[in-house]
Structure 1
Amino acid sequence: MGLLTTVAVPIEHLFNTLPVYQLVLLGFTALITLVISLNVARQLLFKDKNAPPVVFHLIPGLGSTIWYGMDPFDFFFSCREKYGDVFTFILLGRKVTVCLGTTGNEFILNGKLKDVNAEEVYTPLTTPVFGTGVVYDCENSKLMEQKKFVKFGLTLEAFRSYVDLISNETKLFVQEGAPFRGPAGTVDIVPAMAELTIYTASRSLQGKEVRAKFDSSFADLYHDLDMGFSPINFMLPWAPLPHNRKRDIANKKMTETYMEIIKARRAQGGKKEGDENDMIWNLMNCVYKNGTPVPDDEVAHMMIALLMAGQHSSSSTSSWILLRLATRPDIQEDLLEEQKRVLGEDLPPLTYESIQKLKLNSQVVKETLRLHAPIHSIMRKVKSPMAIVANTPTTTKTYQIPTTHTLMSAPGVTSRESEFFPEPMLWEPHRWDDGHELAYTRDGLDKEEFEDYGYGLISKGASSPYLPFGAGRHRCIGEQFAYVQLGTVLAQMVREIKLTSPPGSKLVETDYSSLFSRPLNPAIAEFEKRGLKTSEKS
């Protein structure tokens, strides 16, 4: 009794003498300590042997969000070393099961609709950015119809016309654009390439009328839309955060821009002689299988989605291409010499056919996508319980994945593995040469299988270690356009400028703050205009 009294008196005295805010702080600290302790105990004492191992974390709800968000590849490789190819981590309160390797890519990317679902995962992110009724804000069958509609602009005939448009936009941008003003200087690569990508994508995919409305301010709008893909919006897309307010303003402005064009075209009573047969005219005349014409607001939202899709991959990748080339003057000169050797010393205007002949040009694009694919993670919601056989650090095991989990594939991991790519972190376009000492080891993994999900035959193969555009029914429909756009921009840039890295600088790090990775700003390179004389023949 005496001991209890002795203990109670100081505690009572403590509560009577401390200010209220300190008592609240003490109580909050005690609560946090208890929550963390219970979370740790649960992970150590109550493991489900049939479920994938859970990445150890202290704070429930937050889990491994910060580590994954800062550097997903460091996270993936570190966790694989400890847990194996399959493991689960907590991402903003969500249980995410990562399946790495070619087996994991195949398991997720070619999963059946009854087992995995993309719409439920991505609609909180994409709907506020693209708008309602399109992409993931609709049933998968409707999305497949929309993909079929936009394939109008992704044909071989269209690509042939795009090369001239893209090369002209690139040449004009370097010669007259603000980022490359003067015969030599420095350029901030990321915003410059974001601006150029908007011009090339809008002019080729969406037509002269749309391109005429775009200036550098529209590149800023698309940046604001892009920041709507912030990882926190998986949980809080509605939150009144600064980046969400900018996202909503940008979406409204872009929608209004397209709606004005559509309204004016409706008023003129249809396409007239001399009007370009562009994507807007195409979508305005499309009809869903149930007989419903595509509503004008969905046309506008599809145009936003189409330009965003083209902008993401090409803006990020072209930035990385130029930054990598700045560290390799030898590759720049090899590229120029290739053009002179293959196309002619007078460097005639680029064409679709001539771009296909430039092997090293293509390899620079391919190697850059290998190390810097814009999308580092691909997710699906588990709809039916699934089982996967996985390699662990010590054995092989079968795990059961419940419907409470989200699946995550990371194709970029296999493209950074020495098993397939010797010295994988070395950027070396010549590794794609036949017989090169760093040559890509295929071993039959590039087997192509094709399937029509409703918008034409596409490769469904997911077993290749090189999947910069995904695989399966959600494989990027604009993959071939991206190669045409990137290849053309690169070929024209090599004619226009020489790039070098500032003295003492290192390659910039990657910005993973959005769902789409890009070089961290500022990313400065030095340029010198070549002033080459090229053929004026069309």
Structure 2
Amino acid sequence: MSASYATAPGRLPGLGHAVALMRGPLGFLTSLRTHGDLVRVDLGPMPSLFITSPSLIHTLLTDRKDLLDKGRFYDKVRPLTGNGVIHAYGDEHRRQQAMIKPSFHRDEITRYVEVMREVTEEKSRSWQAGGRIPVDRVMRDITFNILARTMFGSVVDRAAHEELAAILPTVLEAIMWRTVSPGDLLEKLPLPMNRRFDTAFTQLREAISRVMLAYRQNSVEPGEAGMLSMLLAARDPDTGRAMTDEELCNQIVSVTMAGSETAATAMAWLFYELARHPEIEERVREEVADVVGDRDFELADVGNLPYSRRVLQELMRVRQPILVISRRAVRDFPLGGGHVRAGTELFYSPYAVHRDPDLFPDPLRFDPDRWLDKPATQLPKGAYTPFGAGPRHCVGEQFAWAMMHVVLGTTIRRWRLTLPDGVKIKEMPWATVNPNHMPMTVTPAPRRTRVARE
């Protein structure tokens, strides 16, 4: 690593910046931009570079794609998740992405929207007016069930969907713990936590294997098997080869890992921000009433709800769930006037960049209309990356936008969620930036007569 890069303050011999990070990781990461475009941060004995400049982030994600792999933190969870599309790189990543991409075609998402609406309605139907619900856990339940049903369709019954959704939190907890745990020793010890994690992964893979067997034995129609049927039908664009059962299982784990925790966290923060800004909530409710009314949500509605879209854009800025993204140099290359050596771990923080006051004035203010004054297309490349960029841009982005629209619109036209007096919500930095808790009171949404359009 070049010695010309600035080093973040707070480095201690032998510990690096570990103490500074533990004391206040969010403040530490958001402060790095004041020390330069490239800042050295030592994670224990491991020297790393944090990139704070949008242009260099864009370079990292696009121009330097064949010089990088996913990095040490992804190596730590690969034995659990396999080498699915999230962990593969280079030609292997391109091959896998080409096979998975049809699963997220617009025609498929059109069918998924119905599942998104059904799950949200089923889960919210049990809420009691005046009652209190843990919104963070409720959004996890909704999101995980949506993923289970869109992935496996009617190959398994609703009880099996619930079982799969119940396994996912432990699986994701294991992934997050392995990602952020120091060294490799703790995860190898016979601790109750590690046994619980290993059991959850075994259960998940066994459940996926049972579903694939049921699909093959019962001659299920493709449309009834959800995303699974698309993955089973996928062929390598060069060889025509189908995925093996192990590869299929890895892809299902990868897609689930990528799409569940971040979406659930984002939706919990969404209802928190709406509770803090009732005037924004009411504008969303009025827009949904005007466009959708009392009928079922359709994919076409997503493009006809511009204010809701801006609300979600602002959510993914100020409440970006992803704390850090990692890469590792596989060979030497120049970057930002310096030189990165092979083996260097590189990081950037979407959370921190999205709160940069030079890019987003008054960055902590939740203001959906800021996107009218300065659309994302007018920002520097690399400044707003809620779903990544370049060849590793999230293949499920349109699925995620559709799910957020449907969960928001379905919930808001029936319910209003408010924060009880005296409740304080704190950001808890983990692999994602979660709320420490989120108890909210449920009341019926005010009914509004829809005005017919001319």
TM-score in terms of structure 1 length = 0.76
Cα distance in 1 between the residues matched to 2:327 and 2:422: 43
- Count of matched residue pairs: 445
Alpha carbons of 1:56 and 1:385: their partners in 2 closer, same or farther (altered >3 Å)? farther
Contact 1:385/1:402 (<8 A) preserved: yes
> For 1:79-478, what aligned pairs fall within 5 Å after superposition?
79-81=32-34, 83-118=35-70, 121-128=73-80, 130=81, 132-135=82-85, 138=88, 140-176=90-126, 180=127, 182-210=128-156, 212-214=158-160, 218-227=164-173, 228-230=175-177, 231-233=179-181, 235-236=183-184, 238-240=187-189, 241-268=191-218, 271-272=219-220, 276-288=224-236, 289-290=238-239, 292-344=241-293, 347-389=294-336, 398-432=337-371, 434=372, 439-440=373-374, 444-445=378-379, 463-478=381-396
Q: Deviations over 1:211-239 (max 9, x none)?
A: 62446554442121112222444732742
Give the deviation of 1:315 after TM superposition. Answer: 0.5
Q: Deviations over 1:228-259 (max 9, x none)?
A: 22244473274234443322211110110110
Choose between structure 1 and 2 for higher RCO, CA contacts under 8 A separated by at least 6 residues.
Answer: 2
Q: Does 1:525 align with 2:443?
A: no
Cα distance in 1 between the residues matched to 2:23 and 2:323: 12
Alpha carbons of 1:430 and 1:120: their partners in 2 closer, same or farther (altered >3 Å)? same
Alpha carbons of 1:442 and 1:294: their partners in 2 closer, same or farther (altered >3 Å)? closer
Give the deviation of 1:173 after TM superposition. Answer: 0.7
Give, as a single letter, the amino acid of the residue that structure 1 aligns with 2:341: P
Cα distance in 2 between the residues matched to 1:483 and 1:443: 17
Alpha carbons of 1:444 and 1:183: their partners in 2 closer, same or farther (altered >3 Å)? closer
Contact 1:124/1:233 (<8 A) preserved: no
Cα distance in 1 between the residues matched to 2:239 and 2:389: 28
Alpha carbons of 1:352 and 1:275: their partners in 2 closer, same or farther (altered >3 Å)? closer
Cα distance in 2 between the residues matched to 1:211 and 1:445: 46
Give the deviation of 1:193 after TM superposition. Answer: 0.6
Alpha carbons of 1:205 and 1:275: their partners in 2 closer, same or farther (altered >3 Å)? closer
Alignment partner for residue 78 of structure 1, among 31, 34, 47? 31
> For 1:26-45, what aligned pairs fall within 5 Å after superposition?
none
Alpha carbons of 1:495 and 1:286: their partners in 2 closer, same or farther (altered >3 Å)? same
Cα distance in 2 between the residues matched to 1:146 and 1:49: 38
Give the deviation of 1:100 after TM superposition. Answer: 0.4
Gaps of 5+ in 2: none
- Range with bigger deviation, 483-492 or 325-334: 325-334
Q: Deviations over 1:477-498 (max 9, x none)?
A: 1111100000110000101211
Gaps of 5+ in 1: 1-46, 390-397, 447-462
Give the deviation of 1:192 after TM superposition. Answer: 0.8
Cα distance in 2 between the residues matched to 1:210 and 1:308: 20
Give the deviation of 1:320 after TM superposition. Answer: 0.6
Alpha carbons of 1:154 and 1:285: their partners in 2 closer, same or farther (altered >3 Å)? closer
Instruction: Report which of the two structures shows the higher radius of gyration computed on alpha carbons.
Output: 1
Q: Secondary structure of 1:184's partner?
A: coil
Cα distance in 2 between the residues matched to 1:257 and 1:465: 40
Cα distance in 2 between the residues matched to 1:219 and 1:306: 14
Cα distance in 2 between the residues matched to 1:144 and 1:300: 18
Q: Does 1:503 align with 2:432?
A: no
Contact 1:314/1:482 (<8 A) preserved: yes
Cα distance in 1 between the residues matched to 2:231 and 2:449: 38
Give the deviation of 1:208 after TM superposition. Answer: 2.5
Give the deviation of 1:170 after TM superposition. Answer: 0.6
- Range with bigger deviation, 258-267 or 166-175: 258-267
